[in-house]
Amino acid sequence: MDIKIMTNPGQMEVVQVIGNGLVVEFLPEKGGDIYKICIHDYNILWESPWGIGKLGNRADYCHTSKERWLQSYPGGWQILFPNAGEDSFNHGVMHNFHGEACQVPWQYKVEEVSESLMKITFSTRLYKTPYAIERVVMIDDADQSLVIHERITNHGQQDLWVEWGQHIAFGAPLIGPGVTLEVPASTIESAERDSIRSRLKKGTYSWPIEDASSDLSIVPAEKATDFAILKDLAAGWYAINNEKLDLRVTVEWDTTIMPNLWLWQEFNGLQDYPFYGACYVMGVEPNSASHEGGLQESIQRGEAIEMKAQQTKSFELKLSWTRFKG
């Protein structure tokens, strides 16, 4: 495998890992994001309409932390920490939308390179909170997999509470009409984003959905906008199946840290800010939280993760790809 350091048109550094029919790109200056995972010339992750640019270039146009997050959102895959969802005031500070970790610059070091293996360590220290984060990424071309191992340490002298999530957004051509999602869940809670274009009305349902017109496990041919949270998982995994591409993408993770799965589906359905109908994406996102309300709500529900003073917690996730027809 090989590695290249580039500067994209938005003047942001891109770390590109190149394998046999595989390209993976990282954005160390913007949260250490995994920006692209290209398999056989197409990116399985979603890219936002405005692409990537230096943090701060669009900040003057933002009035809320959610706007700032969206306008600096390039698509791809982010770590959400120590907050996931809406702004939340806790421990004397306002935690911004989706947390600080994916907004700050990260350092990186190439640890191992071989013909079929690349190991890179990304690390950062947050400003608002006393956390140090290390994210080791192992790309195995022979195994057709990408494994992340995250370690988060509370360097403060106070016990704290956090939320922790993986914001993984998939796009076309992996996502398209008829593509299916497998998840071993029992329950789904829908937020109903739009009274017309949301397929599943607000409420709690059994998974899988029996009504075909409301089944969020099948990508529809028509426009739709949905957000739901899958709960009561029998195991930590899901699979996206694309028969046309003969591709199956599987994600496996530790449900001890992230027992819930956020499902974000924007199939050109949302007509207002920020996408104005120009967004075709499916986010399938392991998360510690069973809601979008932010850290304080997780504390109130008794589901926030406790990080004791000087404590370190770890999390591992594996994304792999195989032929669907197999």
Which tens digit of pLDDT belongs to each residue from 54-75?
A: 655 555 577 899 988 888 899 9
In this prediction, residue 9 carries a pLDDT of 65
Identify the pLDDT of residue 326.
64
Ranges of residues in the chain whose predicted pLDDT is under 50: none
**Cα separation values, 133 from 24, 102, 122, 233, 259, Å:** 21, 11, 8, 27, 21
Residues 190, 200 contacting (CB under 8 angstroms) = yes
Residue-wise pLDDT for 123-149, tens only, equals 999 999 999 999 999 999 999 999 999
**Residue-level pLDDT at 154:** 98
Model-level pTM? 0.96
Say whether 132 sits in a helix, a strand or coil. strand
Domain boundaries, the chain: 1-164+308-315+320-324, 169-287
pLDDT at 56: 55
How far CA 303 is from CA of 212, 255, 283, in Å, comes to: 32, 13, 22
pLDDT score for 71: 85
What angle is formed at CA 192 by the lines to CA 183 and CA 262, rounded to 5 degrees?
A: 35
Neighbours of 240 (CB within 10 A): 22
- Report the run of H or E that residue 300 belongs to, with start and end: helix 295-301
Q: Which fold has domain 1-164+308-315+320-324?
A: Beta-galactosidase; Chain A, domain 5 (2.70.98)
Q: Is the peptide bond before 105 cis (omega within 30 degrees of 0)?
A: no
